Amino acid sequence: MSGTITANPAAKMIFLIKRRPEASRDELVANWFKNHMPNVIEGQQRQAAAGKLHAHKYIATLFERRDDGSDAAWDGMAQLWFERSFPPPAEPHGTTPADTFQQKAEPYVQWPVTEYVVLDGSLPVVPNTLNEPFPATRSGFYKVTFLVPARDGVEVDEAFRHWLEVHAPNVRGVMTEIGGLRYVVNHSVNPANEPYMGMAELYFADPDGWEAYKSTVTEDGFGAFVDIKRMVVLRSRTQMIGIPG
């Protein structure tokens, strides 16, 4: 499959979330959905009403535990899309908690990325009918997220070119062949200041799709740019939709 892969003009901000040691994952998720996400939605609505910079889309992915039952490297991530980027805060979000979610979560910072939607399969957005429409939840998919660190000494611009010109078309072809739903690549805006040079998001209908992908995909040279030992692979089946976009 050919075709130029173009960047989403929106500024995408990722917030990787890890709970504090004394908090359970269930506590974190419950307070994220009940307290924090509605606060973020209301805050962005106020910004929009005032004609100020605001998020026009807000999705959170919840990561599952590993197969052995141990905790994943991250409990979840929020993704917000804006018309333009903005500088990081003076201190990490939640350093002084503003809600119960931030009492349960480690302080977190924004990770600005450039988004490339390589395979644009749609995922359903079904607003609530017996409560406020949003926040709502979404399931019925199996998502695999790769947090991709660069190998020491790698020219990141060269890695980005290979990612978009060679690796992404390879993955897109496999995803199309095995019936994958969606494939998104995210490149760090400031890779020298981030632990990861980028992130890949692959959506399948179910875990069998992931197994089919692994047995079908072939090497294309991208591994030469990646520190495999530090790469983080996360799985999820549930998302929380704050602002559908």
Q: Is the pLDDT of residue 3 over 90?
A: no
| Per-residue model confidence (pLDDT) at position 1 | 42
Domain boundaries, the chain: 11-243
Q: Is the pLDDT of residue 2 over 80?
A: no
CB 17 within 8 A of CB 107: no
CB 88 within 8 A of CB 10: no
CB 226 within 8 A of CB 149: yes
Q: Which CATH class is domain 11-243?
A: alpha beta
Type and span of the H or E element at 138 = strand 136-138
Tell me how far apart the alpha carbons of residues 65 and 71 are, in angstroms, rounded to a whole number: 5
**Residue 184 φ then ψ, to 5°:** -130, 135
Angle, nearest 10°, between helix axes 168-178 and 207-216? 130
- What number is the average pLDDT over the span 202-207? 98
pLDDT tens for residues 50-107? Answer: 999 999 999 999 999 998 989 999 999 999 999 999 988 999 999 999 999 999 999 9
pLDDT tens for residues 17-51? Answer: 999 999 999 999 999 999 999 999 999 999 999 99
CB 150 within 8 A of CB 171: no
CB atoms under 10 Å from CB of 36, counted, come to 25
